[in-house]
Structure 1
Amino acid sequence: MSFLKIYILLTGIMITWGLNVSVIKILVAHTQPVTITSMRIFTASLIVIIILFFFGLIRLPKKSELFYVFGGALLSVVFHHYFLAEGLTKTSASNAGLILGMGPILTVILTMIFFRKKPTLIKLLGFICGSLGVSFTVMAGSGGIHSINLGDVDILLSILSQALSFILINKASKTMDPRLLTGYMMLIGSFILFAISLWKEPEGLSSLATAPPSIWGAFFFSAIFATALGHMSYNYAIGKVGAAESSIFLNLNTLFSLLGAAFFLNEALAPAHFIGLIFIVSGVLLGSGAIEIWILQRKNKRLSA
């Protein structure tokens, strides 16, 4: 698959993930958050495994791959979702959004540490633009940033664990299909999250029984499209273009989250959101390498002419 197709795929994933934020807000309003998250990820893992079975991609992990399977399950599923849920109960939405917007920058830093891969000046400028764009959109929606507290530490741990999982997925993709890794990570992680929910939310299962039927439509949209297909495709993209290049598209998640909230939850958009949009789109074009590829293609055409 060409880089252009991968970039289109990543943009589509960000649209789904952005809309999924509004869907999850609806879900947790009627159920216990950790319980519904464990059930959603478990459902998604079954969907991923069924899809891979039909494509003939199912196999047991090798001994050398077990570290990546369990490490990815803990970082990408358990730690990320647990600390995110805990942090959002203690900090403001603006603080959380700004810290989550650090994901691409953290991924670049970790890529430099683990792979000794330095970003080009154009890509680094893209990551900075993307971070500025996220800052504009989040602060415009919540009226500014408030004081740092323990909830901010939880959010930082959440995005740090996700960034570390991208590094593991990138390493594992050398021997294991990232889509198969996704299925195993989700399956193992959902069981661990469910065990945590039994401890933290003793009445979590009963909250599912009393949820209105319309909630289950939202549940399956989130499980199938955002969680199963979304994470399977995103991890596939990491294996093709790299962790840092894929992570820059996470900036679009903030944009589509705002649009989804405006459409589904009737939340207002401010002029500063559109300033953030300009920075985010510029950041994606620069940080993904799309501009560099375009410059290289033009240079090759001139040389061939």
Structure 2
Amino acid sequence: MARNHAGLYFLMTFNMMVWGLNAVALKWLVLYFPPLPMQGIRLFLAGLALLPLMLVKGSWKPLSSKEWGWTAGIILTGVVGHHSLLAWGLTLTTATSAVLILALLPLMTSSLACLFLREKITGTGLCGILLGLAGVILVVFRGDDYSSTSGWGNLLIAGCMLSQAVSFILIKKATDTIDTKQLTSLMFLAGSVLIFLIGLFVSPDGISIMANGPLWVWAVLILSGVVASGWGHMMYNSAIHKLGPGQTALFNNLTPFFALVGSALLLGETIQWTQAAGFLLIVSGVFLGTGVWRTRRDSRMETPSGETGIGSLPLNHGEMTKEKQSHP
């Protein structure tokens, strides 16, 4: 019988809200702390937050050499590459420009999924991607911001986006046999150490600067690491295993809207009518791209849909035996 992923869709939408607010938090943090040492500590906290879950559920297991290979690739692309370039880029460009570039993530991930995982993109899925991208562009468009952005900063954010898209493909392969909590904890613990060591060379006085930082900034850093990065990425990695990287990445279209809402509430910015209209396009894109309309119809049927991939009923891409081995 067709599986109904409505609960997972709700959790992913909530996760995108947390990530949208986290974009505002990161912009605050790079104003007070050096970007790379800050990211190293923040992501280390994210990895620590997941350790109790693994110990309670006993989900830790020794990894094979092949699994270590997937994990190393994810650490380099999804943690060191993505988070280092993100923090560095935010010091050189505006948050609005960064959000616009990162909005290309679903298209990049879907393209890589088609090339390397042979995921299918149906007509409705393609329409969903294009609608979501159009909505993102409309939401984040502010003409006066682009005159002050740095070309180098935008290039770093583009590299950050590409690095994360590659990591999503690797995560899909790795979570066939590795528990998502173990993978997420490993990638943050190991990746954060690498980022912190790099940060010591780039910002030798970074530790002393952070030690003298305001307590409320440290509170933002801890919440950002534990909630947004730790628990948020664990949930996202679990969704990649169940829905596939291409379909899961569609939810990233919601992040810019929540980032702008957070900016309005926390920074006093005004939401324009173009941004509200863009949000409607984003919701429509996610609705079509994830196949929610098809899921509700097929949930009444006895025979499952034969399609998989973006725009179709999101069946699990792994075999049942593999699904029993991992517990996302």
Which category describes the TM-score, using the shorter chain as reference length?
Answer: over 0.9
Partner in structure 2 of residue 192 of structure 1: 194
Once the two structures are TM-superposed, the CA of residue 55 in structure 1 deviates from its matched residue by 1.2
Stretches of structure 1 lacking an aligned partner (at least 5 in a row): none
Name the structure 1 match of 2:183.
181
1:234 to 233, 236, 250: 236
Distance 1:109 1:224 in 2: 31
Name the CA distance, whole Å, in 1 between partners of 2:300 and 2:150. 47
Cα separation, 1, equivalents of 2:289 and 2:215: 42
Query: Are the counterparts in 1 of residues 36 and 88 from structure 2 also a CA contact under 8 Å?
Result: no
Let me know the Cα RMSD of the aligned residues: 2.0
In the alignment, the residues of structure 2 paired with residue 293 and residue 243 of structure 1 have an alpha-carbon distance, to the nearest angstrom, of 18
1:57 partnered with 2:59: yes
Q: CA deviation at 1:83?
A: 1.8
Partners of 2:133 and 2:207 in 1: how far apart?
Answer: 39
Aligned twin of 2:306: none
Q: More deviation in 219-228 or 148-157?
A: 148-157
What letter matches 2:184 in structure 1?
T
Q: 1:17 to 1:239 in 2, by over 3 A?
A: same
Q: Distance in 1 between matches of 2:48 and 2:282?
A: 34
| Segments of 4+ moved more than 6 angstroms | 298-301
Out of 240, 248, 251, the residue aligned to residue 249 of structure 1 is 251
Question: Partner of 2:294 in structure 1?
Answer: 292
Q: Which amino acid aligns with 2:139?
A: T
* Aligned equivalent of 1:161: 163
SS at match of 1:116: coil
Distance 2:119 2:216 in 1: 47
Q: CA deviation at 1:96?
A: 2.5
Q: Post-superposition shift, 1:177? A: 1.2
Contact 2:30–2:87 (8 Å) recurs in 1: no
Shift of 1:120: 0.9
The structural deviation recorded for 1:295 is 3.9
- Tell me what 1:212 maps to: 214
Q: Which residue of 1 aligns with 2:324?
A: none
1:145 Cα shift?
4.8
Equivalent of 1:16, from 18, 21, 25?
A: 18
Correspondence for 2:279 among 267, 274, 277 = 277
**Conserved in 1, the CA contact under 8 Å of 2:37 and 2:206?**
yes
Once the two structures are superposed, residues 28-71 of structure 1 have per-residue CA deviations (whole angstroms, 9 ceiling, x without a partner) of: 22211111111010011011122211111112322110111111
Q: How many residues align?
A: 300
Contact 2:4 2:295 in 1 (8 A): no
CA distance in 2, matches of 1:292, 1:168: 28
Q: Percent identity?
A: 36
User: After alignment, is 280-289 or 144-153 more displaced?
Assistant: 144-153
- 1:299 Cα deviation from its structure 2 partner: 7.2
Q: Distance in 2 between matches of 1:24 and 1:95?
A: 14
Shift of 1:88: 3.2
CA deviation digits over 1:166-186, x for unaligned, max 9?
A: 000001111111221111111
The secondary structure found in structure 2 opposite 1:249 is helix
Cα gap change, 1:87 to 1:212, in 2 (>3 Å): closer
The TM-score, its normalising length taken from structure 2, stands at 0.86
Q: Which residue of 1 is the match for residue 140 of structure 2?
A: 138
1:151 aligns with 2:164: no
